[in-house]
Amino acid sequence: MKSFSPYFRNAHLSTLAGNFWPRSIDESRFPTRTAIYETAPGTRVLVHENAPAPDPKGEVILLHGLEGSSAGGYMLSLAQALLEAGFRTHRVNMRGCGGTEHLTDSLYHSGLTHDARWLLEHLRARQLGPRYLVGFSLGGNVTLKLAGELGASGSDLLDGAVAVSTPIDLHACVRKMMTLENRLYEWRFITRLRSTYQGRHRSNPRRFPIEGLRGAWTVFQFDDQITAPFFGFGTAPNYYATQSALGFVGEIGVPTLLVQAKDDPLIPFDIFEDRRIRSNPRIQLIATDFGGHLGYISRPRPRFWLDPVITSWLAVLGNKSRSRTVIQQ
């Protein structure tokens, strides 16, 4: 594996560059198919699918981060790399994301694994080959939580999992976001969350009451007033305690790759020192000194360092390699 040589050594610049650097899929080679799946009563999710030729080496489901979509830059560039390597890709828009509010009467949350599991079962029923989950940020938490929920029998449904820049301890990461240096990120998230929810309220006031939103000006307050009550968690602390992937990683029974930058401004790295991660032989951790949050812009080309790392790891996994390494760079 090629070591990461950062274009930026400032975590905030790396994070912003990763968000705004333009990326795309070569539609002339890999045209996008739009699919809508009913994963639960009253809920349909939009998935953008691309296939290589001839026969795919496997099926890769990609899950985005908080208030993201299938059009996120990290989703597009990884899908392109996977397609070139022979994998079929499924870029999922979580419930109500990517302009799909009209497809569901539900919200989404950091531990909602139902839809990803439904998609894995759908692919298994079609007998399309090995199945992998790749999650970014919030999507990484969903990925790891699902892998842990599946436990020792998980390989029947899932062949491997990858999680990048993952808030495995939701409360610790929300506290980190609330610091002064991260106020810009929190403001971006909360304004999007509020705007989306206001739209949901206008379409269905009874289902999405507005009262709790008036005092929700931080992500914690939004989770405490909106997310937790909507899903029956009660309070934000209980939501975080029950839905954080850290409580499930010890049960992961399939090969799993974690990629985490030590300078991630939104995620304290010490949560990855937890024994439940370090003692699980199925988990491999790649820890880089730099990279920010979903950044990983490389000084030498290719610019998007994550893409060949994840693609090659999945390719090796597909060749039945089973190794565990904790890599410090």
Where b means 16+ CB within 10 Å and e means fewer, 101-129 reads bebbbbbbbbbbbbbbbbbbebbeeeeeb
pLDDT (tens digit, 9 = 90+) per residue, 131-152? 999 999 999 999 999 999 999 8
Mean pLDDT of 292-316: 96
Task: Please state the φ and ψ torsions of residue 313, each to the nearest 5 degrees.
Answer: -65, -45
**Mean of per-residue pLDDT scores for the chain:** 95
Query: What's residue 320's pLDDT?
Result: 56
Q: What is the pTM of this model?
A: 0.95
Mean pLDDT of 118-134: 95
pLDDT (tens digit, 9 = 90+) per residue, 166-218? 999 999 999 999 999 999 999 999 999 999 999 999 999 999 999 999 999 99
pLDDT (tens digit, 9 = 90+) per residue, 237-296? 999 999 999 999 999 999 999 999 999 999 999 999 999 999 999 999 999 999 999 999
Instruction: Report the half-sphere exposure of 57 (CA within 13 A, side-chain side).
Output: 15
Map out the domains of the chain with their CATH numbers. 11-169+244-328 (3.40.50.1820), 173-243 (no CATH)
Q: Is the pLDDT of residue 324 over 80?
A: no
Reported confidence tier of residue 319, pLDDT bands at 50, 70, 90: confident
